[in-house]
Amino acid sequence: MVKELMKKFVEVFGEGGTILPFFAPGRVNLIGEHTDYNGGHVFPCALTIGTYGVIRKREDRKIRFYSMNFDKYGIMESSLDGLAYKKEDNWTNYPKGVIWAFKEHGYEITQGFDFACVGTIPNSSGLSSSASLEVLMSKMLIDVYGFTDVDMIKASLYSQYAENKFIGVNCGIMDQFAIAMGKKDCAIYLDTATLTYEYAPVQLKDEKIVIMNTNKKRGLGDSKYNERRQECETALEEIQRIKNIQTLGELTEEEFEQVKGAIQDPVRMKRAKHAVYENQRTVKAVEALKQNNLKLFGELMNASHISLRDDYEVTGKELDTLVESAWKQEGVIGARMTGAGFGGCAVSIVKADQVARFIENVGKEYEEKIGYQADFYVVEIGSGPVQLAE
Ligand code: GLA
């Protein structure tokens, strides 16, 4: 993949100079959905699929981008002067946003670059192709421009800053953190209120992680993501009138039941309930995994989906069809939607010897009910971003 990309780079931008290759993973969240902007816990892991990128510094202030996934756009050119979000700049707004975010934090680059990339994460599938691109750019800036005092946690925060302030999507920290801090064969148990984290080994001996892609495209910008976030914020303000808390993530289920009457609207009450219960489920799920109780972990995954379906209402018929079909199959430990929802992917843990049949059965039922095919990926948990050997 890297060789091919290097070749393409030379073809597109010409020979010469030092061309440096990098990789940043995608991520899948095992449990803890829509909790990261509510001060709760998440439990994602980095994947071995992700974004490959190569970069070469320029003498002037031009920044030129090329993606093998968006070949049709050819070379897209911007400048370090007047960095701003422009709709027509399409995918290059992500790396541009990161350069801008670094600058906002005092790390300004004065020399431009040529950049080419290719992603092995399906775009808009909810496996964080955009966060992968952002963290890739961050890693390149750190290594190529010598911003060595920016550690990977800061890099994840700057990447999120780019997404929030440059792209305009109010995402939490989960995706960028999971990608920047990924560790092979481990999921990351992150408390989003404090950014304290712990690596939890995911030792699946007889099971596989199977990702199911609805192939229903979604973009966070045009989804109801920001609306959900707003609903939770309003619910929090209502609770704060009677209880001194900073985030919904501070509440146990019992405490929520005591104060929920303060929420004036039944829909908002459901949203807040999900945020609180999902956070508690995540805490329990990590505990279950530590005790090798995969069965309980799977049950909590299933309960997470039900809550996202009924209380948070971010699943939709494509994700529900995949997940509900998955639950019926033999050898399934657990299945749930993953990421923002409204399309994108679901994640399941399946007995290795049942995977082929699982994919066949779920795939068939999905196509019958939805009218087009789903895709399935048996994935491995990978590490964070790296500079690759030239
Ligand atoms: C998207 C956002 C994350 C998180 C999830 C939902 O992936 O980027 O910050 O909120 O949705 O859990």
Query: Best substitution site from 36, 38, 45 to test ligand 1's pocket, by max atoms within 8 Å of Cβ?
Result: 36
List the one residue out of 49, 351, 347, 43 whose CA is nearest residue 202: 43
Per-residue pLDDT for 217 more than 90?
A: no
- Least confident window among 47-51, 74-78, 146-150, 167-171: 167-171
Mean pLDDT, the chain, whole residue set: 96
128 CA to middle of ligand 1, Å? Answer: 9
Under 8 Å between Cβ of 141 and 109: yes
171 touches ligand 1 (CB under 6 Å): yes
Average pLDDT over residues 131-139: 98
Q: Would you state the pLDDT for residue 302?
A: 98
Average pLDDT over residues 106-125: 93
- Ligand 1 atom nearest 131 alpha carbon: 8
Per-residue pLDDT for 219 more than 60?
A: no
Q: Tell me which residue has its CA closest to atom 1 in ligand 1.
A: 340
172 touches ligand 1 (CB under 6 Å): yes
Under 8 Å between Cβ of 24 and 139: yes
34 touches ligand 1 (CB under 6 Å): yes
Per-residue pLDDT for 220 more than 60?
A: no
- Least confident window among 146-155, 190-199, 216-225: 216-225
Under 8 Å between Cβ of 366 and 322: yes
159 CA to middle of ligand 1, Å? Answer: 14
DSSP string, 198-246: EEEE---SSEEEEEEE------STTSSHHHHHHHHHHHHHHHHTTS--S
173 CA to middle of ligand 1, Å? Answer: 8
Given strand 196-201, what is the order of strands in its sheet? Answer: 41-42, 186-191, 196-201
Under 8 Å between Cβ of 214 and 375: no
15 CA to middle of ligand 1, Å? Answer: 40
26 touches ligand 1 (CB under 6 Å): no
Q: Would you state the pLDDT for residue 125?
A: 84
Residues assigned a catalytic role: 175
Q: Tell me which residue has its CA closest to atom 8 in ligand 1.
A: 171
174 touches ligand 1 (CB under 6 Å): yes
pLDDT band at 122 (very low <50, low <70, confident <90, very high): confident
- Ligand 1 atom nearest 32 alpha carbon: 12
Q: How far apart are CA 341 and CA 37, in angstroms?
A: 15
pLDDT band at 252 (very low <50, low <70, confident <90, very high): very high
Average pLDDT over residues 350-378: 98
171 CA to middle of ligand 1, Å? Answer: 6
Residue type, 156: S
Average pLDDT over residues 217-243: 86
pLDDT band at 107 (very low <50, low <70, confident <90, very high): very high
